[in-house]
Structure 1
Amino acid sequence: MDKALSSTLRLQGQACLALGSPFHARLLELAAEDLDAGGPTAGLLAPWNGQDLRGLMAAAVPLRLLGGLHDLVLSGDDPALARAYPQPGKAFDAESAWPEARRAMAGRADRLSAFMEHEPQTNEVRRSACLLGGFLTLAKETGLPLRCFEIAASAGLNLSWDRYRYDLSGLPWGPESPVLLPSDWSGALPPLDAPVRVVHRQACDRRPVDLRDPVQRRRLLAYVWPDQFDRLERIRAAIGVALMQDVAVEAADGVDWTAQSVRPEPGAATVIYHSVFWQYMPAESQAALHQAIEYIGASATLDAPLAWLRMEPPPENMAIMEVRLTMWPGGEERVLAVVHAHGASANWLG
């Protein structure tokens, strides 16, 4: 029995409950009990035996397990498991689903293990609702069109942030769109009247998701929690927009790509942005990216400003999520908002 592994499952279960997925919360508790008893969960998680709690959370081991099971459901290859999983309009609970999940972990261990070798890649599109205030602030304060560069963009769904419709506690922003992003907004409002025009968009990811590939597309869906039907509906709509717009994400390391691809240009505000990515980087990569952005910022001018917009937990408190904006020339940093990790709410401070 590996106590760190079972503790990781339980901690992630608590996080799932706090973020609105009681199904996954209980499923992870049952998986932890099965791990402690030496059941099939122990075999699936054996590659991570001996790692400490911090390393296990950084590797997102519980999310790999949950994603593998959900991918099996979405594929249709295990009808019994699919019937036990959440579906709109049908009663469901983890206690009833667990026997089928445990059977699948024992009988389809090779398939699940192969899925779990790849680190989780999520692309929560409602994080755009948190980043929106930063883009609006930048547009308002500079009066310039925007050049957008997203690091760790996954499938690039948040590269289309200006193509979505937003509802900030009843206040709309954005064009008519198949993607509607509601967010409970408190505090003041960002400058919703700011004129926004995106003149360039570019993105990278170490292992980008090719949405044209149905297997990769399903993998992206698998990391959306199955009892959160609204999130599944939104990501499917956002995938449709990305495919229609032929959104492309370059395969590249974030540090190297930023240093090579991003330069301020006169007549536009250049913005580097990312969300829920920083915490998974090694400390040396964080330092290198920070240095690269500051180097680029040193060449910014009033006519060619640079901004660094990010939605990440502050290092001193990983339990919360903030939106921060740094602008050059000058390098002034501001905390704009404290937000929900999936974009469901924002307390605007900016």
Structure 2
Amino acid sequence: MDSALSSSLRLQAKACLALGSPFHAGLLDLAAEDCEAGGPTAALLAPWAGEDLRGLMAAAVPLRLLGGLHDLVLSGDAPPLADVYPKPGKEFDAASAWPQARLAMTQHAARLAAFMDHEPQTNEVRRSVCLLGGFLTVAQETGLPLRCFEIAASAGLNTSWDRYRYDLSGAAWGPESPVLLPTEWTGPSPPLDAPVVVSHRAACDRRPVDLNDPALRRRLLAYVWPDQFDRLTRIRAAIEVTLAQGVRVEAADAVEWTARLAAPSPGAATVIYHSVFWQYMPRENQAALRQTIENIGLSATNEAPLAWLRMEPPPENMALMEIRLTMWPGGAERLLGTVHPHGASVSWTG
């Protein structure tokens, strides 16, 4: 048995517990034991055998397993599993759910394997809270409308960031909206009075989620942790807003798409942005995208500035997210703040 596989499950269990999902934490601890015993968990994770722990976590293998099980629940195709999964107003615990989860890994092995073959689509809408301060900073410092280009947009929920209502520990921003995004905000407020006009928005993803497809919409929901009912409520509301706005996410390679579309434009600030995406790219692709953005920045002027806004974990701590902003002309980079991976809290420095 590959010890890195069980270690990845236990490491993700600790992260789930720290991030407020005791149900998923418990499932993963039990799955780790099953993996070590050569049970159905080991069979499902076999395609990643030989990968080191860092690679397993970067590929989010434990989250793929959790997403696959939740997808079975949401589909209605595994009623016994659904009966023991979290529901509002109902008591639940991982130990009670585990026998059905383990059975589902056997009865639905092919379906789970197919689900896990694709990288996670974690379109956490509250990450817009983390990005908001960056957009406001660009708007204030340039005084220009924003042309927004989102890389790895998944279903495009964060492409509609300006259509949501924000509560930054009592400081509000945004229109009236069915999507309310609260967060614990510490540090100075971002420039909430900066005039914001989004003159253009576009998005790409290698495998975009078509929200008009029920199966793909369900896949998106499957990666929301089932015992976090507020997150499920928010993402469902954001899906409706995004559908109403007609947001289209283009299926494209990030490097090619960025080079083709995101050149600076006079009279607007071009913003290239992404969240929790970098770790899924091979290093050579990371280098190519960075070089592409820097090359675009060389043509930026004060009348046509470029901003690169991102929410990503630093290499040494995958549980902590940083908000970084690089602006051209000049290419000066700064750390704007650190944030909870799901946007529950923001520590802002500006």
> TM-score when scaled to structure 2?
0.98
What is the one-letter code of the residue matched to 2:329? P
Deviations 1:31-81 (A, max 9, x none): 001111111111111111222112211221111110110000000111111
CA distance in 2, matches of 1:150, 1:335: 19
Contact kept, 8 Å, 2:155 with 2:211, in 1: the verdict is yes
**2:208 partner SS:** coil
Alignment of 1:122-137 (within 5 A): 122-137=122-137
- Give yes or no for the alignment of 1:37 onto 2:37: yes
Farther off after superposition, 239-248 or 36-45? 36-45
What is the one-letter code of the residue matched to 2:149? F
**Corresponding residue number in structure 2 for 1:182:** 182
Q: For residue 284 of structure 1, report the CA deviation from its aligned partner.
A: 1.1
Q: For residue 316 of structure 1, report the CA deviation from its aligned partner.
A: 4.2
Q: For residue 247 of structure 1, report the CA deviation from its aligned partner.
A: 0.6
Count, aligned residues: 350
**Corresponding residue number in structure 1 for 2:140:** 140
Identity within the alignment, %: 79
Farther off after superposition, 313-322 or 16-25? 313-322
**Corresponding residue number in structure 2 for 1:105:** 105
CA distance in 2, matches of 1:326, 1:61: 31
Q: For residue 317 of structure 1, report the CA deviation from its aligned partner.
A: 3.7
**Corresponding residue number in structure 2 for 1:120:** 120
What is the one-letter code of the residue matched to 1:160? S
**Corresponding residue number in structure 1 for 2:313:** 313
Q: For residue 315 of structure 1, report the CA deviation from its aligned partner.
A: 2.9
What is the one-letter code of the residue matched to 2:299? S
CA distance in 2, matches of 1:124, 1:183: 13
Contact kept, 8 Å, 2:15 with 2:319, in 1: the verdict is no
What is the one-letter code of the residue matched to 1:47? P
**Corresponding residue number in structure 1 for 2:250:** 250
What stretches of structure 1 of length at least 5 have no aligned partner? Answer: none
- Give yes or no for the alignment of 1:271 onto 2:271: yes
CA distance in 2, matches of 1:229, 1:247: 25
**Corresponding residue number in structure 2 for 1:154:** 154
The alpha-carbon distance between structure 1 residues 317 and 55, as it changes in their structure 2 partners (threshold 3 A), is closer
CA distance in 2, matches of 1:236, 1:15: 24
- Give yes or no for the alignment of 1:3 onto 2:34: no
**1:342 partner SS:** coil
**Corresponding residue number in structure 2 for 1:285:** 285
**2:154 partner SS:** coil
**1:270 partner SS:** strand
**2:87 partner SS:** coil
Contact kept, 8 Å, 2:169 with 2:184, in 1: the verdict is yes
**Corresponding residue number in structure 2 for 1:200:** 200
- Give yes or no for the alignment of 1:214 onto 2:209: no
What is the one-letter code of the residue matched to 2:56? L
**Corresponding residue number in structure 2 for 1:225:** 225
Deviations 1:165-204 (A, max 9, x none): 0000011100000100001000101000001010100011
**Corresponding residue number in structure 1 for 2:59:** 59
Q: For residue 110 of structure 1, report the CA deviation from its aligned partner.
A: 1.5
- Give yes or no for the alignment of 1:294 onto 2:294: yes
Q: For residue 154 of structure 1, report the CA deviation from its aligned partner.
A: 0.5
**1:45 partner SS:** helix
CA distance in 2, matches of 1:42, 1:151: 34
**2:167 partner SS:** strand
CA distance in 2, matches of 1:315, 1:69: 29
Q: For residue 328 of structure 1, report the CA deviation from its aligned partner.
A: 0.7
> TM-score when scaled to structure 1?
0.98
What is the one-letter code of the residue matched to 1:140? Q
CA distance in 2, matches of 1:13, 1:213: 31
Alignment of 1:79-98 (within 5 A): 79-98=79-98
**Corresponding residue number in structure 1 for 2:331:** 331
**Corresponding residue number in structure 2 for 1:13:** 13
Contact kept, 8 Å, 2:164 with 2:176, in 1: the verdict is yes
What stretches of structure 2 of length at least 5 have no aligned partner? Answer: none
Farther off after superposition, 51-60 or 165-174? 51-60
What is the one-letter code of the residue matched to 1:124? E
CA distance in 1, matches of 2:126, 2:267: 29
CA distance in 2, matches of 1:43, 1:304: 53
Q: For residue 301 of structure 1, report the CA deviation from its aligned partner.
A: 0.8
Q: For residue 314 of structure 1, report the CA deviation from its aligned partner.
A: 2.1
**Corresponding residue number in structure 1 for 2:234:** 234
